[in-house]
Amino acid sequence: MILTDEQNNILHGSQGPLLQKYMQWMVRWGTAMNAERLVPVHNVHVSGVSAPGHMVIGMPDGVMKGMKEQIWDTTSFKVKAPTYTHVARITLDYADERGLEPDQQQFQHEIIERARKAGIVLTWSCAPYLVGVLPGKGQICAWTESSAVIYANSILGARTTRNGQESATAAAALGVVPEFGVLLDKNRVGEILISVETDINNSLDFGLAGYFAGELAGLKIPVFEGLPSIPVEAGKQISAALATSGGVTMFHAIGVTPEASSFDQAFQGGTPKGKYVFDGQAKKEVLNKLNTIKDGMIDHVMIGCPHASLDEIRTVADLLDGRKVDNNIRLEVWTPRAIRRTAEDLGYLQVIEEAGGKVLSDSCPAISRVSQGKAMATHSCKQAHYSQQLLGNKVALGTIEQCVNSAIEGRWLS
């Protein structure tokens, strides 16, 4: 890789051992990915600023803690680009309730203090674009959450590869990333075509289309033809579903997303390597596949994966207004803490709590791993998938309206 004089000096220790270590990681990563240079990063979404244990399946706490100490050196640094946190392992205001051991809690607080001193903004969300982190078209970022990576690349037209906790932390400290993958025009070309030949009526339908396409795309870039315009909530669902069933980094929707005003622009003048149809039958098959509750019995309703927008919280509050969640159901809405506060100001939170629901922030069931062995209803293909895979739950998947009405009824209303 070609480095500037300053980058070379950092690599040789001119700004201390921590930045030297991060620069070594960057150079090794960039070399492995055939990057020619490091380029400035506009903003960073960093993960790993949360308690050790359970975030990596099967990894003992000690190993996880060691990894974190490797990343979060006690030496301080200041971020070189605006940096925002992904979710935490726990709902930070309720650490005891969430079952963290005292040493884990202490370690959690140390890490948070280091992050705060580094100038990292503690957004605690998988959907940074909901709380004002909105890079413009062409701006380079280093984001960690896979669904947010797709949202940034596809819907905002920004540019980010899929980052891990090490690369994002190094990007925050150095203000640069290796230039490879979707950071380059030539790697943003559509590869397979998904022809949408069914009604897309709500965010759930966008999620089902995304789940269908992700399974076919794997690591390729799918191009949708026939999708309507994408509201933010639908953008969350299609991005999260694509990242769940596939390893997608971005998609195009012809006539909708910023780099796909036409078929030719989406494929950069080329032709698709595969063509598939998402029709009513395909939609039903994805829904059936993710729906594993057949007897209507549910005990947990989860809204907000990726984290709920203010409008989704308003929808839940409107549906619950003057009604009660069934006593045997736990209804949770997960959202960034900034949106939770706004929902409180607007009275939505009180309506939901009076009905017996909870509005929680900072984490989610799949990450905190506290809702195992449940019969969970959700509006999110991603939560439906991971709730089964990671938590061993049974799942009912439907619209937000179906989920909330089912919580009131005490059984799944299919």
Residues interacting with ligand F3S, by CB under 6 A? 87, 126, 147, 240, 305-307, 334, 364, 366-367, 382-383, 386
Question: Smallest distance from the beta carbon of 216 to ligand F3S, in angstroms?
Answer: 21
- Burial zone of 331 (CB within 10 Å; 0-12 exposed, 13-18 middle, 19+ buried): buried
- Cα–Cα distance, 180 to 30 (Å, whole number): 8
Nearer to ligand F3S, 3 or 370 (CB): 370
Nearest to 373 by CA among 394, 398, 345: 394
Nearer to ligand F3S, 91 or 265 (CB): 91
Question: Smallest distance from the beta carbon of 332 to ligand F3S, in angstroms?
Answer: 11
Nearer to ligand F3S, 307 or 340 (CB): 307
- Cα–Cα distance, 152 to 158 (Å, whole number): 5
Q: Categorise residue 373: left if φ over 0, alpha if ψ from -120 to 50, beta otherwise.
A: left
Question: Smallest distance from the beta carbon of 126 to ligand F3S, in angstroms?
Answer: 3
Question: Smallest distance from the beta carbon of 93 to ligand F3S, in angstroms?
Answer: 17
Nearer to ligand F3S, 313 or 366 (CB): 366
- Cα–Cα distance, 125 to 331 (Å, whole number): 20
Question: Smallest distance from the beta carbon of 386 to ligand F3S, in angstroms?
Answer: 6
Nearer to ligand F3S, 173 or 360 (CB): 360
Nearest to 152 by CA among 312, 259, 226: 259
Question: Smallest distance from the beta carbon of 199 to ligand F3S, in angstroms?
Answer: 26
Question: Smallest distance from the beta carbon of 368 to ligand F3S, in angstroms?
Answer: 9
**396, 375 Cβ separation under 8 angstroms:** yes
Work out the angle between the directed axes of helices 381-389 and 232-245 (0-180°, nearest 10).
30
Give the sheet arrangement for strand 141-143, strand by strand. 83-85, 43-46, 141-143
Nearer to ligand F3S, 205 or 362 (CB): 362
- Cα–Cα distance, 287 to 396 (Å, whole number): 9
Nearer to ligand F3S, 21 or 45 (CB): 45
Question: Smallest distance from the beta carbon of 147 to ligand F3S, in angstroms?
Answer: 5
- Burial zone of 326 (CB within 10 Å; 0-12 exposed, 13-18 middle, 19+ buried): middle
Nearer to ligand F3S, 81 or 367 (CB): 367
Nearest to 298 by CA among 203, 207, 405: 405
Strand, coil or helix: what is 150? helix
- Cα–Cα distance, 24 to 43 (Å, whole number): 21
